Structure 1
Amino acid sequence: MTTIPDPHVPVEVEVNEEANEPAQKSPQSNVESNSPSEEENELHYPVDHLSTPRQILFIRTLCTAMFTNQIGLGNTLATVGPIGESFGISNPGQLSWLIAGYSLTIGTFILIGGRLGDEFGNKKLFVIGTAWYALWSLIAGLAVYSTQVLFVFARVLQGVGPALTLPNALAILGRSYSPGPRKNMSFAWFGASAPFGAIIGFFFGGLFVLAWWPWIYWSQGIALAIIAVFAAWAIPPLPVSRQQGKQLRERLEDLDVLGGLTGVTALVLVNLAWNQAVVVGWQEVYIYLCLILGFLFGVVFFLIEVYWAKSPIIPFASFNSDVAFVFACTAAGWACFGIWIFYIGQVALNIDGNTPIQMSAWFAPGIPVGLISALAVGKLLGKVPAPWIMVIGQVAYLAGSILASIRPPHSTYWTYFFFSVLIITVGMDTSFPAATIIFSDAVPRHHQGMGASVVLTVVNYSISISLGFAGTIERYINNGGHTEADRLHGYRGAIWFSVGLAGLGLILSLVFVFNSKKQRG
């Protein structure tokens, strides 16, 4: 029987990102076929048919999103003290803003970055995001001629770059490979880029600070500009699902502008309250006001996404209990990691007297361990249930943070610190690939940017806001931090909080395993 298409229904077209030549789908193209043609496979999964060297180049280009994101964290984490001194900053709360502001922007705007990529093209947003990151890296270096206000502002706007590149890189991977081992391994390589970026950031941050710290950011900006140009060639054209004759109002509905504005406002206000309270204290009225308004905007965002938005940024209605558990476990684990890496570094730098270059060497074992664990996850997914992989990650977070919390000051590197780095890296590089693949498989192909955005929002926002929680603990138990003993007490209090977060994540992951077995049985 032949089906006559309704002339009043808009016809879906595939638009190439590189060429505005729509190819109208015939009605017959929607008929299922047991043997799809090679042309259809190439259209849907364009990288499957590329040569192996070309695929390697493609994956490495996209991995620069995670790599450069972690460089932006590591190069400042290792040098936050000397940079603060150049601006006359010594307050620990103000120094933490140099880290938290960057992660805040990433975690806040990733949702918007993923949606823009779904609507206008993931490749286009990846290139734009890399160029933006390059620009504000250069401005961060130029802030040496101004004040800390420009530097913090530049750091905050630096985060918009990864907020665009990270979700769109993952979306490109999700749309370029058909489900299977190659797709899993591409996500695993993406996750494995994190420890590489962090260690390289530590090393070059420590190296350039010996000469002049602005070169930390100028060198980063030059490298990012080169990557942006190269990515425009290395990433193949991808189809963008659109509809003919779409009006501006329909486009705005697809972007979910109202949901995006309320969601971003909620995230910014809550994070601002917690991190600024570390600087000025909770006695300030505007801190409570920001927190209350943040929660109110969060409620409005949830209501918009569930009951009003035609194309919600986060389709809560389609989430099941498995997604909720992965969401919670990822948040607890990465919050633990954010506190761990900041405060174990503060102990080594400010108590033990290490240099930033020494810190890069101390964290270096995370590179091979992170690579092995991430690739192992890529191989194991599909063979080992994902809930058990999440349990392994949470156990690693818990064990690694406990070692950091009980480490005596000035102790030998090859005891507590060494094993803490090895173990907690396993947590980082097992939880991220597992969560990413679960979310990627749970959402439709044309919403891969949204799925990637949710995971990355959880990761980066958890890091940022957890530093606010930990900083508050440090502030109120370190007796002003006037002596080394007081500072160490504050640092350890913050690290013990990360232990609690890891314990919560482990409990949630075990409940996840129990529920999964119950559903299967």
Structure 2
Amino acid sequence: MAVEDYHQTVRDHDGLDSGASSVTEVPPRSRAGFTAGQPLGNISGRDPSLLVSPTETQAPSRDEMWTSSDEKEDYERQESERDDGDQYDGDHDLARTETGKSIAETLSLPREMLFVTIICFGQLFTQAGLGQAISIIKYIGDSFDITNPGELSWFMAGYSLTIGTFILFSGRLGDLFGHKTLFLIGMGWYSVWSVVCGFAIYSNHVLFIFARVLQGIGPAIVLPNGLAILGVTYAPGRRKEMVFALFGATAPSGAVLGSLFASLLALEWWPWAFWVFGIVLAAVMVIGHFAIPAAANRQHHERPQGWKNTLRQLDIGGTLLGVAGLVLINFAWNQAPIVGWPQPYVYVTLIVGLILLAAFFVFELKYAEYPLIPFHALSNEVSFVLGAIACGWSCFGIWFFYCWQFQLNLIGDSPLLATAKFSPAAVSGLCAAMFTGYMLHRLKPPVVMMMALVAFTTGITVLATCPVDQIYWAQLFVSVVVMPWGMDMSFPAATLILSNAVHRKHQGIAASLVNTVVNYSISLGLGFAGTVEVQVNNGGENPADILKGYRGAFYMGIGLAGLGVFVCLAFVAKSRTQRHVSDKEDA
């Protein structure tokens, strides 16, 4: 059935405004760019084209748009698909009222402010969960009699691991069962396992790590479905740009706030940091039930009939293979620094993980009816971009973990003082988000991407060469200010490049892949760094050896970020060559 004929009236049970009791689907709009902020695409498999206003999408001519493939051929393919009446899988349909207004326009200002705040809390809490454990990691480790950095790194790595591995599947769940429903379920799940993290004090560190791993599934559900809700609620325009910019800007602030409140509560007892966090998450879930418009919960696909059809559309086979493979590979790399690679179960786990991941690719390419990742629609350019993102965010994970270790264990800062030293990252991240939104319309996305990788490289290099007894403002402050620019420039640039590299009906997969790679790379990078650290720190028996191990980890991060810069340079050169060839053919 043609997209133009796809109209459906949905009763609004949320009491938006009088005279606006139903919504009507309208066709997806054309592809466009992104606004400032980290998570600018819709990571649930939606069309990220709705993030900018129509006037901005018309500003550059087609010759000025720099894409990673032949734009003319891509445009003709899209027009052919539209003429053939294809139903674009995953395209984002904006919901409007009978009067032609978007859902957001029917909300009162207080209601809209509350709604946006609840959705933005999804991003803020995701980063807060990262910051809360790392800031009080010394307290947690002491309570379990753990000092091995490899074991301590699991407190952060386990959380990021499940975020990265479950995002794609969570977006598919939202497609079939409603994004509001999944958003609230994610908040509830996040709350429960945050509380369990606190109660692990009565057990052992294994339960704590296990709870952290399961805790990460909550943000994996919340993030894609929260963005989907924003996308369906707002029409393209300045208001939508502002909302997505706010969503992205909460990332650095969330890490700082999570660290701050965890440090304060840990002064009494560290489990209170997780218990209070769980209570806050539960409260947000309840408020969200009333604040999020009911129309945002509509399904974008007809709900499958029967459990067999449901399993097929959820791609359970591919999900199990992919998740199991990624988890086992990550486990091997993060466990090796603790017990050593000679342990048979470590390298056996790695081998099994690689086999399962290979089986996932085969299954998705040949057997999956509804593949999570449409590999046939992805080009070589996608590999370049995802490789650069993996390098940059692996570097960030190393920087974030070992910067805290550097301050807590070598400089001797308290968690509160270390948090204060990290606080400039929130302001720097906000500036980076605004700058990126401004420059993406003026610079080519691959150039912005390369600038981001340079920022990652610079930030960790400055810290790697920082003396322990040096004043904060000389190098540590510079590193804290520079690193958020790598974060907030790389994500939107990569998402835009991928959106230009794939067909229109696969646009939504762009941000999904970027988000998956971002979070998984944070966890995997810690495994790489931990392996280097234990090889060079001579057992870490004294401060000099500990510093040597930390520097080894930092140098690993420098190598990863530097590799990302070279990948970006190769991608820029390849794109320029393709553009010149295209220009000659058009002439």
> Do they fold alike, i.e. is TM over 0.5?
yes
Q: Does 1:404 align with 2:463?
A: yes
8 Å CA contact 2:176–2:302 kept in 1: the answer is no
Matches within 5 A, 1:257-406: 257-406=316-465
More helix by share: 1
Q: 373-382 or 254-263, which moves further after superposition? A: 373-382
Q: Does 1:150 align with 2:192?
A: no
Q: Which residue of 459, 464, 471 corresponds with 2:530? A: 471
Q: Does 1:62 align with 2:119?
A: yes
> How much does 1:219 deviate?
1.1
Query: Measured at CA, do residues 335 and 49 of structure 1 come closer, stay the same or move farther in structure 2, by a change above 3 Å?
Result: farther
8 Å CA contact 1:110–1:164 kept in 2: the answer is yes
CA displacement 1:123-143 (0-9 Å, x = unmatched): 111110011111111111122
Q: How many residues align?
A: 507
CA displacement 1:488-515 (0-9 Å, x = unmatched): 0000000011111111111122222223
1:242 maps to: 301
> How much does 1:214 deviate?
0.7
Superposed CA RMSD:
3.1
1:106 maps to: 163
8 Å CA contact 2:379–2:501 kept in 1: the answer is no
CA displacement 1:251-277 (0-9 Å, x = unmatched): 221111100000000001000100111
Query: Match for 1:355: what amino acid?
Result: S
Query: Measured at CA, do residues 188 and 514 of structure 1 come closer, stay the same or move farther in structure 2, by a change above 3 Å?
Result: farther
Query: Match for 2:521: what amino acid?
Result: S
> How much does 1:187 deviate?
3.4
Query: Measured at CA, do residues 397 and 379 of structure 1 come closer, stay the same or move farther in structure 2, by a change above 3 Å?
Result: same
> How much does 1:94 deviate?
1.1
Query: Measured at CA, do residues 17 and 263 of structure 1 come closer, stay the same or move farther in structure 2, by a change above 3 Å?
Result: farther
> How much does 1:443 deviate?
7.3
Alpha-carbon distance between aligned partners in 2 of 1:461 and 1:48, rounded to the nearest angstrom:
37
Alpha-carbon distance between aligned partners in 2 of 1:160 and 1:186, rounded to the nearest angstrom:
25
Alpha-carbon distance between aligned partners in 2 of 1:49 and 1:199, rounded to the nearest angstrom:
34
SS of aligned partner of 2:372: coil
Alpha-carbon distance between aligned partners in 2 of 1:41 and 1:304, rounded to the nearest angstrom:
46
Matches within 5 A, 1:495-510: 495-510=554-569
Query: Match for 2:159: what amino acid?
Result: Y
Q: Percent identity?
A: 47
Query: Measured at CA, do residues 515 and 449 of structure 1 come closer, stay the same or move farther in structure 2, by a change above 3 Å?
Result: closer
Alpha-carbon distance between aligned partners in 1 of 2:248 and 2:303, rounded to the nearest angstrom:
37
> How much does 1:53 deviate?
5.6
Alpha-carbon distance between aligned partners in 1 of 2:371 and 2:344, rounded to the nearest angstrom:
34
8 Å CA contact 1:13–1:241 kept in 2: the answer is no
CA displacement 1:289-348 (0-9 Å, x = unmatched): 111111111111111112221211111111223433321221111111000011121111
Alpha-carbon distance between aligned partners in 1 of 2:143 and 2:207, rounded to the nearest angstrom:
13
Query: Measured at CA, do residues 185 and 322 of structure 1 come closer, stay the same or move farther in structure 2, by a change above 3 Å?
Result: farther
Q: 323-332 or 75-84, which moves further after superposition? A: 323-332
Q: For structure 1, which runs of at least 5 residues remain unmatched after alignment? A: none
Alpha-carbon distance between aligned partners in 2 of 1:328 and 1:299, rounded to the nearest angstrom:
18
SS of aligned partner of 2:355: helix
Q: 446-455 or 323-332, which moves further after superposition? A: 446-455
Alpha-carbon distance between aligned partners in 2 of 1:87 and 1:280, rounded to the nearest angstrom:
18
> How much does 1:477 deviate?
0.7
8 Å CA contact 1:187–1:436 kept in 2: the answer is no
Q: For structure 2, which runs of at least 5 residues remain unmatched after alignment? A: 15-20, 27-81, 86-93, 581-587
Q: Does 1:493 align with 2:493?
A: no
Alpha-carbon distance between aligned partners in 2 of 1:471 and 1:148, rounded to the nearest angstrom:
18
Q: Which residue of 195, 208, 213 corresponds with 1:138? A: 195
8 Å CA contact 1:113–1:163 kept in 2: the answer is yes
Alpha-carbon distance between aligned partners in 1 of 2:277 and 2:180, rounded to the nearest angstrom:
21
Matches within 5 A, 1:123-202: 123-179=180-236, 182-202=239-259
8 Å CA contact 2:396–2:522 kept in 1: the answer is yes
CA displacement 1:324-382 (0-9 Å, x = unmatched): 33212211111110000111211111111111101111111111110011122223333
Query: Measured at CA, do residues 426 and 37 of structure 1 come closer, stay the same or move farther in structure 2, by a change above 3 Å?
Result: closer
Query: Measured at CA, do residues 206 and 257 of structure 1 come closer, stay the same or move farther in structure 2, by a change above 3 Å?
Result: same
User: TM-score if structure 1 supplies the norm length?
Assistant: 0.89
Query: Match for 1:314: what amino acid?
Result: I
Alpha-carbon distance between aligned partners in 2 of 1:348 and 1:292, rounded to the nearest angstrom:
36
8 Å CA contact 2:10–2:24 kept in 1: the answer is no
Query: Measured at CA, do residues 23 and 182 of structure 1 come closer, stay the same or move farther in structure 2, by a change above 3 Å?
Result: closer
8 Å CA contact 2:445–2:496 kept in 1: the answer is no
Alpha-carbon distance between aligned partners in 2 of 1:16 and 1:381, rounded to the nearest angstrom:
38
> How much does 1:17 deviate?
9.3
1:216 maps to: 273
CA displacement 1:132-172 (0-9 Å, x = unmatched): 11111111112222222222221111111011011212233
2:154 maps to: 97
SS of aligned partner of 2:267: helix
